[in-house]
Amino acid sequence: MTSAIRLSGVSRHYGAVKAVDNIDLDIAEGEFFAMLGPSGSGKTTTLRLIAGFERPTVGEIQIYGEVAQGIPPYKRPVNTVFQDYALFPHLNVRDNVAYGLMVAGVAKYARHKSADDALEMVALGAYGNRSPSELSGGQRQRVALARALVNKPKALLLDEPLGALDLKLREQMQEELKALQRSLGITFVFVTHDQGEALSMADRVAVFNEGRIVQIGTPEDIYYRPESPFVADFVGSSNVLPPRFVAPLIGRQVYGSLRPEAVYLADQGHPAQVTSVSFLGTATRVSITVGDVAMTMLLPKGAAIPKAGDTVQVNWDDADLHLMAAP
Ligand code: ADP
Ligand code: MG
């Protein structure tokens, strides 16, 4: 596998703030790679380091085998779609997409041809003469994509590109982006704080916390085999069980994680108090306490549903109790 982007021991410190702290990354050519983490965990800074808008305090970045240090952003074979993708309101869609090429001195015919090709890629081939104000939010987002694609980058860096869209449009754009990435075959580095978005779109996910990468893996790895209580808790609201709960069950002082859908009502099991019940449509979420440990369980449609205040018995399969070392 050829490496598209490689970071070795990269840090970016601002005084005492360790925005990015000693990270290693190896993103393969053609990969859809997500960077997932809470706000302030260093995702945007990492993207800006790759794009060349920031310089590492220490460490080395390689882009398609070339050391990036000293190469200005516009000469790197990557392009960024920013979270705030403001279009020029006084330029039509085609000129918005062609703007960077115009600044670079590309002649009108050639830059319009390139812009139309890029608009074609995002299914807006017929919209070149429109004004941005005549487009929907999703269409404007696609123009921002076309603007980044017009230079034919080898890798596209996307910083929370769907953050401004409402849920329905967001889900539609997730599918479109994924399809676009597959058809173009270029590397996508996609930043998001949304677990579902990262897990559903990416080939691999890096989970960030406090400037560090705490786990890298496939969506299945991250979801089913979190390596720390932080990842288990952040990626999809798993039940994180403290060692004092797990030790009596398996005889080892380790953390456990248990997916809400892995906990079920049983005739024999652990006595639990039901604290609340929420109907979610396709399933029902039941909050319980087992001893002094709070958990949630997700009961499928059609299951018997207890009421708040009930005492029930719950259980899970041994194989679903995932064990983790201390945080
Ligand atoms: P994320 O994109 O994951 O929300 P950022 O990379 O934007 O996180 O920021 C990581 C940390 O670095 C935050 O604590 C942020 O306040 C800090 N930071 C980012 N840029 C600067 C800067 N130019 N000067 C000082 N601190 C910064
Ligand atoms: Mg950010």
Tell me which ligand sits closest to the C-alpha of residue 83.
2
Q: What is the pLDDT of residue 1?
A: 62
Q: What is the pLDDT of residue 138?
A: 84
**Any bridge partners for residue 189, and if so which?**
33, 157
CA distances from 94 to 79, 89, 216, 262, 322 (A): 18, 12, 39, 51, 52
Give the residue, 287 or 303, on which the prediction is more confident.
Answer: 287
Q: What is the pLDDT of residue 238?
A: 83
Is residue 163 lining ligand 1, measured as CB closer than 6 Å?
no
6-26: per-residue pLDDT in tens?
999 999 999 999 999 999 999
Q: What is the pLDDT of residue 326?
A: 65
Run of H or E residues at 3 = strand 3-14
Beta carbons of 36 and 193 less than 8 angstroms apart = yes
CA distances from 244 to 150, 250, 255 (A): 56, 11, 8
Tell me which ligand sits closest to the C-alpha of residue 45.
1
Query: CB within 8 A of 8, min separation 6: which ones?
Result: 24, 59, 60, 61, 62
Is residue 209 lining ligand 1, measured as CB closer than 6 Å?
no
Q: What is the pLDDT of residue 6?
A: 98
Closest CA to 239 of 300, 290, 303, 305: 290
pTM of the model: 0.86
CA distances from 93 to 74, 164, 251, 268 (A): 22, 19, 64, 64
Is residue 19 lining ligand 1, measured as CB closer than 6 Å?
yes
- 3-77+153-232: what fold? Rossmann fold (3.40.50)
239-273: per-residue pLDDT in tens?
989 999 999 998 889 999 999 999 999 998 999 99
Phi-psi region for residue 203, left (φ > 0), alpha (ψ -120 to 50) or beta?
Answer: alpha
Query: CB within 8 A of 103, min separation 6: which ones?
Result: none
Residue intervals of the chain classified under CATH 2.40.50.140 are 240-313+320-324
CB atoms within 10 A of CB 87: 21
Average pLDDT over residues 160-170: 83
Could you tell me what percent of the chain has a pLDDT over 90? 75
Phi-psi region for residue 124, left (φ > 0), alpha (ψ -120 to 50) or beta?
Answer: alpha
Average pLDDT over residues 165-192: 89
What does the block give as tokens for 136?
Answer: 């929907």
Residue intervals of the chain classified under CATH 3.40.50.300 are 3-77+153-232
44 Cα: distance to centroid of ligand 2 (angstroms): 4
Tell me which ligand sits closest to the C-alpha of residue 84.
2
Closest CA to 295 of 269, 274, 325: 274
Mutate to test the pocket of ligand 1, among 12, 14, 54, 210 (most ligand atoms within 8 A of CB): 14
Q: What is the pLDDT of residue 85?
A: 76
Closest CA to 183 of 126, 116, 101, 123: 123
- 45 pLDDT band (50/70/90 cuts)? very high
Run of H or E residues at 248 = helix 243-250
Query: φ and ψ at 105, to 5 degrees?
Result: 85, 15
Run of H or E residues at 120 = helix 108-121
> Coil, strand or helix: which one is 196?
helix
d(CA 149, CA 78): 9
Q: What is the pLDDT of residue 327?
A: 56
CATH of domain 240-313+320-324: 2.40.50.140
Return the CA Rg of the chain.
Answer: 23
Averaged pLDDT score across all residues of the chain: 92
What does the block give as tokens for 324?
Answer: 């983790």
Burial class (CB in 10 A: 0-12, 13-18, 19+), 197: buried
What does the block give as tokens for 193?
Answer: 């704080």
